[in-house]
Chains A and B, each alone.
Chain A
């Protein structure tokens, strides 16, 4: 980690370089199962984000009190209580969304991103970095969930933001985008194989951008002595 910009580094890591959905390929089960449209993806993404930021902060704060030998059970306890609290919140304020996401909210407990970040980052770093790492990893995951939801919803139903009222209230009904009545829809995109294929394309797209950036950086490194000489 570069010493000058630790916060920027953490953000870049979570959102792009080490994105949980596209690079670490963690949490694929909810990623595949829930992202049939944008709103579901966004709902689960925000729930995961909240959990991740909270647990990372808590674990980092409690770090001095948790003995090395029992750290995993202690992490699981913290994560489980956080998820339960968030589940109750969603149940109370977005009960329709809760009905759609169903089992996947309590299942955030088992999402490997959460325990992965707790073990790999929060248990080794001070709270001021840990909460940001949780936030950025959660945001990176949410972005992938939303992108995948958008692709699959668009291909399968020709809509975007359908059921937005589940999350933002009745006023958001207008947000829903419906393309055309003639659109037949690629049913495959709504089914699990469609999720795998779309995620594959997202990962390929990210790798392509990374390769282009690496190639350009290399080119500039080669040209630099020349431009300096001129």
Chain B
């Protein structure tokens, strides 16, 4: 908790859930625009379908649970879940993929556990993990940035791809993500340097991915500046992931990617600033936040390098969500005037 008290009168201006969520949405805009630049109309369809399904399912569940519609729909929490999931899924995803992901996120992970504030798991990541496990082919075919950047695929082709089950040239327009490529080629015995000669790679990570990550970073830093999120979770997550990858990269740079590659690849930055910081499912104490996010960073590296899935932010967040109640219990800050557990 931050108590920025400077001079009297010490007025407290409480922010409603809606105000907080609205600012998270503003912070997501720059990254989404960069995604739109690299991947074209598919990002728009993902977003519109995702937000529509999220709101519709939220309204349906509120009605089934006999809760008032307007106060809960206008807290924008369903919109944030829908938005995060829409940018995490590959652009041009078929409509049913978004629907199933949203059902798992809003219906199962959120409302069956009691709605906003009661969900132990991050709803967006439950939705993501459910479709990743169920539809590995759809989930790992990301469009190639150069071929699908804005203007290269027309709106009608996009709609055909999303609703009617695929345009004929689609296979030529997709490729494995950089994380996926590294993983499969390392298993074939190639070195990191050889793999990075491939066309999918740009300056640090995949083509375009640096810019997407940079835009998420900008939005995330703005959230810290606005005090919507504290610095603990993003810093600890990035430090843990960088530390892990640095250790193995220094030992053997031929078989392990550089720390910088891990930081700008996949969903690292999006996860560090927007996903792991979910106020409901994350730890709430300062030390708890550091441990929670550090755990996510370590698990992300472990699953990325030795697991079966290319990216791991979703699984790492879900694993650490399970540890949050314990972390919160053992890391309660010392109340002023009392002695702490270690006599500090």
Physical interaction between A and B? yes
Instruction: Give me the interface of A with B, judged by CB distance under 8 Å.
Output: 182, 184-189, 191, 193, 197
Q: Which residues of A contact B108 (CB under 8 A)?
A: 197
- What separation, in Å, do the CA atoms of A184 and B97 have in the docked complex? 11
Q: Which residues of B contact A187 (CB under 8 A)?
A: 133-136
Tell me how far the C-beta of A2 lies from the nearest C-beta in chain B, rounded to whole angstroms: 36
Tell me how far the C-beta of B125 lies from the nearest C-beta in chain A, rounded to whole angstroms: 14
Q: Which residues of A contact B165 (CB under 8 A)?
A: 182
- What separation, in Å, do the CA atoms of A104 and B133 have in the docked complex? 26
Give how many B residues have a beta carbon under 8 Å from the other chain's beta carbons: 9
Chain B residues 106-145 with CB under 8 Å of chain A are 108, 130, 133-136, 138
Tell me how far the C-beta of A109 lies from the nearest C-beta in chain B, rounded to whole angstroms: 33
Tell me how far the C-beta of B339 lies from the nearest C-beta in chain A, rounded to whole angstroms: 43
Q: Which residues of A contact B136 (CB under 8 A)?
A: 187
Q: A184-B138, A191-B133, A197-B108 given; name 7 further pairs at CB < 8 Å.
A: A182-B165, A185-B134, A186-B100, A186-B134, A187-B133, A188-B134, A193-B133
10 residue pairs of the A-B complex, CB under 8 angstroms, read A184-B135, A184-B138, A186-B100, A186-B134, A187-B134, A187-B135, A188-B130, A189-B134, A193-B133, A197-B108
Tell me how far the C-beta of A157 lies from the nearest C-beta in chain B, rounded to whole angstroms: 12
Q: Which residues of A contact B134 (CB under 8 A)?
A: 185-189
Tell me how far the C-beta of A184 lies from the nearest C-beta in chain B, rounded to whole angstroms: 6
Q: Which residues of B contact A189 (CB under 8 A)?
A: 134
Q: Which residues of B contact A193 (CB under 8 A)?
A: 133
Q: Which residues of B contact A184 (CB under 8 A)?
A: 135, 138
Tell me how far the C-beta of A54 lies from the nearest C-beta in chain B, rounded to whole angstroms: 40
- What separation, in Å, do the CA atoms of A197 and B135 have in the docked complex? 18
Q: Specify the chain A residue showing the minimal Cβ separation from B135.
A: A184
Q: Which residues of A contact B100 (CB under 8 A)?
A: 186
Q: Specify the chain A residue showing the minimal Cβ separation from B165.
A: A182
Q: Specify the chain B residue showing the minimal Cβ separation from A156.
A: B134
Q: Which residues of A contact B135 (CB under 8 A)?
A: 184, 187
Q: Which residues of A contact B138 (CB under 8 A)?
A: 184
Q: Specify the chain A residue showing the minimal Cβ separation from B137.
A: A184
Q: Specify the chain A residue showing the minimal Cβ separation from B94.
A: A184
- 6 closest A-B pairs by beta carbon, nearest first, are A188-B134, A187-B134, A186-B134, A188-B133, A188-B130, A187-B133
Chain B residues 134-158 with CB under 8 Å of chain A are 134-136, 138
Q: Specify the chain B residue showing the minimal Cβ separation from A155.
A: B134
Q: Specify the chain A residue showing the minimal Cβ separation from B138.
A: A184
- What separation, in Å, do the CA atoms of A189 and B104 have in the docked complex? 12
- What separation, in Å, do the CA atoms of A189 and B135 have in the docked complex? 11
Tell me how far the C-beta of A186 lies from the nearest C-beta in chain B, rounded to whole angstroms: 5
- What separation, in Å, do the CA atoms of A191 and B130 have in the docked complex? 11
